[in-house]
């Protein structure tokens, strides 16, 4: 049987809201534009679609309501009777039946009007048939307003019911009002039921959960019951009666022996006897509560006799439920169960006994079932046979005495030969415990873990652990004579140094002549200039044009080759050759007589250094150099243009090409215009009733 969860039932709308929901959905999900010029078949299908879609919406909504609510005849009898107590089962069935009838009537209306729409001869007649069909459907649903309102109230009340599993392990607490049922439930579970010092604080069923013997248990707190005829009990009391009648649980009947609940022990016993038929075939416990306020010994003999009678009746009921009690349970059963929910005395004992009773009852019921025989037929219990004889008498031939190795026997004999625990025998190995006691005791003695290592050479036990790199022992690659060889090498170096000092090989700058010192300074300056120029070229990353080696493998592209080819074509190459040769020099003002990097070489062979000239980096110098580069004696000099007319023609061709591109008005990477990707008139404001034609 599944665990019922009534919280998943969807909300039931009222009659007016129901009509608005369905008609609005039809308006939104079907086309809304029709023209008189369309073919009549198209107009008929347009309105037939609206009628069918509306009928489908009614059918789906009503079917969901009918499916969500439980069927009284298909659910557990506990929930069926609980629904009958709370909502009147007949009224509940009648409301669901009316909705089912409305669903069928709406389907029939749609079928009739679709048949009539097939013969519609104009747009006006088809429209009127559609209006009539939707109007009759709405009229049918208006008549169900009362049923929908009733079902919504039922749904709200059912969503507040606890989720009770009728077939799990359950403890059911019952009794008169204000006897301590809710307090007992709060003590043994994690529930938090309201507890007040007046009657009928609990008005409905409350459920709590606990763990016992690694199993999950549910505890149900029922409202108080009064001793009166069944037909006079109200809805609150009938919930308790329904739970007692249909739930197979261990029942705890709470008795207030202090009579603070307002009812005497005799009245509570009378209630027990009046509802005793509901306890049939269930484990039953009678528990005396509020022992902190009054003890059983202080009660009158008549009240004590009544309580003993209740205990006897409870034992008979438990025996009828098939409960087999163990010795501890029987010992506890001999006396009346006592507890106090205020001081928590005896609460856990009552809980354990109730759980054990219920477990024993469930096991007994399973053994009495038909399925046990099918299981026992498949179980085989093997009984091992005794190999040492039968009947407890051992057979000497098959006896198997204990076998102790000779080495162990020898050690035992050596240990018992007279040596004490701190003084072992000469041939017996001293144990670690004896070593510890002899060498200072625990905390002082440190056990030697290497003495029992099994190595090829026992002398390796206490060697220093080798250093391993890449799987190799470093000690295997060390020359044992390295110390002597190092000493010889150092002695040889000392001898060589002494010989060099004796021969005077060491050069001293003080011994140089003035001419040699000047020449050394010039060499150092030249070296410094070369290093500076190399670093400058490296920092500029050689940023100058170089002919690729692949284009001139044979080194034939030079100035002479250019002069020959241009002379053959009829061009004057004197200035071009002079310009190329002037650019090939390292500096603008450097002369051919100058050496590299500004060194003048005279006839005597002496190198004369000139101080490096400071380069001028200014906007004026750059503009002047740029002007000199652009200003030439001829209009097209250096640009492949013969004269001014050819130059003007080239300028006109360039302007004409740019004019064509300018007319295209293409955006480039320099443009910063942001286009209007989201026009405001399409993305702001709300659409009115007449602006929904975009669907």
Same structural domain, 144 and 179: no
Q: How far apart are the first and last CA of the chain?
A: 49
| DSSP state string for 239-262 | HHHHHHHH---EEEEEEETT-TTS
What is the mean pLDDT, run by run of 10 residues, along the chain of 695 residues? 70 92 92 90 94 94 91 80 81 91 95 93 93 94 92 86 83 88 86 75 82 88 83 80 84 87 85 85 86 83 84 74 52 68 86 87 77 74 68 59 85 70 54 87 86 83 76 77 89 88 65 86 91 77 60 73 83 82 56 43 39 44 43 54 86 83 69 66 64 53
Please report how many Cα atoms fall inside a 13 Å half-sphere around the Cα of residue 604, on the Cβ side: 3
Same structural domain, 212 and 309: yes
Same structural domain, 222 and 136: no
Distances (CA, A) of 406 to 421, 555, 682: 22, 101, 104
Phi, psi for residue 144 in degrees, rounded to 5: -100, 15
Is 16 domain-assigned?
Answer: yes
Q: What is the CATH number of the domain that holds 320?
A: 3.40.50.300
What is the token pair recorded at 366? 């399973």
Give the number of other CB atoms < 10 A from CB of residue 191: 17
Instruction: Tell me whether strands 206-212 and 170-175 are parallel, antiparallel or unpaired.
Output: unpaired
Q: Are the beta carbons of 203 and 223 closer than 8 angstroms?
A: yes
Same structural domain, 304 and 224: yes
| pLDDT tens digit sequence for 650-668 | 888 888 887 777 777 666 6
The CA-based dihedral angle spanning residues 458, 464, 465, 467, taken in that order and rounded to the nearest 10 degrees: -130
Question: How far is it, in rounded angstroms, from Cα 519 to Cα 512?
Answer: 11
Question: How far is it, in rounded angstroms, from Cα 181 to Cα 23?
Answer: 53
Length of the chain: 695
Q: Which long-range contacts (CB under 8 A, 24 or more apart) does 68-74 make?
A: 68/8, 68/9, 68/10, 69/9, 69/96, 69/151, 69/154, 69/155, 70/4, 70/6
Is 402 domain-assigned?
Answer: no
Nearest of 225, 88, 100, 75 to residue 165 by alpha carbon: 75
Structural domains of the chain, count? 2
Phi, psi for residue 200 in degrees, rounded to 5: 55, 40
Give the number of other CB atoms < 10 A from CB of residue 99: 21
Question: How far is it, in rounded angstroms, from Cα 18 to Cα 142?
Answer: 9
Count Cβ neighbours within 10 Å for each residue of 127-154 and write b for 16 or more, e otherwise.
Answer: bebbeebbebbbebbeebeebbebbbeb
Question: How far is it, in rounded angstroms, from Cα 277 to Cα 285?
Answer: 15
Same structural domain, 146 and 211: no
Phi, psi for residue 251 in degrees, rounded to 5: -95, 130
Give the number of other CB atoms < 10 A from CB of residue 362: 17
Number of H helices, E strands in the chain: 22, 10
pLDDT for residue 678: 66
The CA-based dihedral angle spanning residues 598, 603, 606, 609, taken in that order and rounded to the nearest 10 degrees: -20
Q: Where are the beta strands (DSSP E) in 102-214?
A: 170-175, 206-212
Query: Domain boundary at 156, 187, 202, which?
Result: 156
Q: What are residue 594's DSSP bridge partners?
A: 600
Same structural domain, 144 and 289: no
Q: Are the beta carbons of 26 and 48 closer than 8 angstroms?
A: no
Q: Are the beta carbons of 178 and 225 closer than 8 angstroms?
A: no
Query: Domain boundary at 370, 405, 423, which?
Result: 370
Same structural domain, 268 and 337: yes
pLDDT for residue 133: 95
Is 669 domain-assigned?
Answer: no
Is 376 domain-assigned?
Answer: no
Q: Are the beta carbons of 622 and 608 closer than 8 angstroms?
A: no
Query: Domain boundary at 156, 181, 196, which?
Result: 156
Same structural domain, 230 and 118: no
Q: Are the beta carbons of 230 and 263 closer than 8 angstroms?
A: no
Please report how many Cα atoms fall inside a 13 Å half-sphere around the Cα of residue 63, on the Cβ side: 9
Is 443 domain-assigned?
Answer: no
Is 480 domain-assigned?
Answer: no
What is the token pair recorded at 24? 């609005």
What is the token pair recorded at 579? 């310009």
Same structural domain, 267 and 136: no
Same structural domain, 175 and 304: yes
Q: What is the CATH number of the domain that holds 36?
A: 1.20.120.1190
pLDDT for residue 562: 82
Is 26 domain-assigned?
Answer: yes
Domain that holds residue 243: 163-370
pLDDT for residue 142: 93
Q: Are the beta carbons of 163 and 4 closer than 8 angstroms?
A: yes
Same structural domain, 198 and 308: yes
What is the token pair recorded at 438? 């002899």
Is 38 domain-assigned?
Answer: yes
Q: Are the beta carbons of 323 and 360 closer than 8 angstroms?
A: yes
Q: Are the beta carbons of 233 and 225 closer than 8 angstroms?
A: yes
pLDDT for residue 74: 76
pLDDT for residue 549: 64
Same structural domain, 270 and 357: yes
Count Cβ neighbours within 10 Å for each residue of 270-290 and write b for 16 or more, e otherwise.
Answer: ebbeebeebbeebbbbbbbbb
């Amino acid at each position: 049987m599944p665990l019922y969860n009534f919280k998943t039932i969807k909300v039931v709308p009222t009659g007016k809201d129901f009509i608005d929901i369905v008609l609005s959905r039809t308006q939104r999900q079907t086309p809304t534009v029709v023209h008189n010029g369309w073919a009549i078949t198209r107009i008929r299908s347009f309105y037939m679609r609206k009628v069918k879609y509306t009928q489908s919406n009614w059918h789906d909504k009503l079917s969901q309501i009918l499916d969500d609510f439980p069927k009284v005849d298909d659910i557990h009898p506990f929930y069926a009777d609980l629904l009958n107590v709370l909502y009147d089962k007949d009224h509940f069935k009648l409301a669901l039946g009316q909705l089912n009838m409305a669903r069928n009537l709406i389907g029939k209306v749609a079928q009739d009007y679709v048949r009539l729409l097939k013969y519609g001869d104009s747009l006006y007649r088809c429209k009127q048939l559609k209006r009539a069909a939707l109007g009759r459907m709405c009229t049918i649903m208006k008549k169900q307003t009362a049923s929908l309102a009733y079902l919504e109230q039922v749904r709200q009340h059912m969503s507040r019911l606890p989720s009770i599993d009728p077939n799990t392990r359950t403890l059911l607490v019952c009794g008169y009002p204000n006897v301590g049922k809710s307090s007992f439930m709060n003590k043994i579970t994690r529930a938090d039921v309201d507890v007040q010092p007046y009657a009928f604080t609990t008005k409905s069923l409350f459920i709590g959960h606990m763990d016992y013997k690694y199993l999950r248990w549910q505890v149900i707190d029922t409202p108080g019951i009064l001793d009166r005829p069944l037909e006079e009990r109200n809805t609150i009391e009938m919930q308790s009666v329904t739970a007692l009648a249909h739930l197979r649980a261990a029942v705890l009947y709470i008795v207030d022996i202090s009579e603070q609940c307002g009812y005497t022990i005799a009245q509570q016993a009378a209630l027990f006897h009046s509802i005793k038929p509901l306890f049939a075939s269930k484990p039953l416990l009678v528990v005396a509560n509020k022992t902190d306020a009054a003890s059983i010994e202080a009660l009158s003999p008549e009240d004590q006799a009544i309580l003993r009678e209740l205990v006897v009746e409870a034992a008979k009921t438990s025996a009828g439920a098939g409960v087999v009690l163990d010795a501890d349970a029987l010992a506890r059963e001999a006396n009346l169960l006592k507890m106090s929910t205020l001081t928590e005395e005896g609460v856990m004992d009552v809980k354990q006994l109730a759980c054990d009773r219920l477990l024993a009852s469930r096991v007994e019921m399973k053994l009495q079932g038909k399925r046990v025989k099918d299981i026992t037929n498949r179980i085989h219990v093997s009984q091992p046979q005794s190999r040492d004889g039968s009947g407890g008498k051992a057979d000497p031939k098959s006896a198997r005495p204990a076998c102790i190795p000779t080495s162990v026997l020898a050690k035992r004999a050596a240990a018992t030969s007279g040596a004490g625990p701190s003084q072992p025998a000469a041939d017996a190995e001293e144990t670690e415990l004896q070593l510890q006691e002899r060498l200072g005791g625990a905390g002082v003695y440190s056990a030697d873990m290497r003495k029992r290592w099994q190595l090829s050479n026992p002398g390796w036990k206490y060697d220093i652990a080798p250093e391993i790199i890449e799987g190799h022992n470093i000690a295997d690659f060390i020359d044992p004579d390295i110390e002597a060889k190092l000493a010889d090498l150092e002695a040889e170096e000392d001898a060589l140094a002494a010989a060099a000092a004796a021969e005077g090989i060491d050069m001293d700058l003080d011994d140089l002549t003035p001419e040699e010192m000047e020449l050394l300074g010039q060499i150092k300056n030249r070296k410094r200039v070369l290093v500076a120029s190399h670093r400058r070229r490296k920092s500029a990353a050689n940023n100058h044009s170089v002919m690729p080696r692949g284009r001139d493998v044979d080194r034939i592209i030079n100035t002479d080759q250019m002069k020959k080819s241009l002379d053959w074509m009829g061009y004057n190459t004197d200035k071009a050759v002079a310009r190329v040769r002037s650019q090939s020099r390292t500096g603008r003002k450097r002369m051919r007589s100058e050496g590299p990097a500004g060194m003048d070489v005279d006839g005597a062979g002496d190198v004369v250094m000139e101080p490096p000239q400071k380069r001028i980096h200014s906007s004026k110098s750059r503009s002047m150099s740029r002007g000199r580069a652009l200003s030439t004696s001829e209009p097209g000099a250096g640009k492949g243009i013969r004269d001014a007319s050819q130059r003007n023609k080239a300028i006109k061709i360039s302007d004409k090409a740019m004019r064509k591109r300018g007319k295209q008005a293409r955006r480039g990477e320099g443009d910063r215009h942001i286009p209007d990707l989201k026009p405001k008139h399409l993305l702001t404001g709300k659409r009115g009733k007449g602006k929904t034609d975009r669907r």
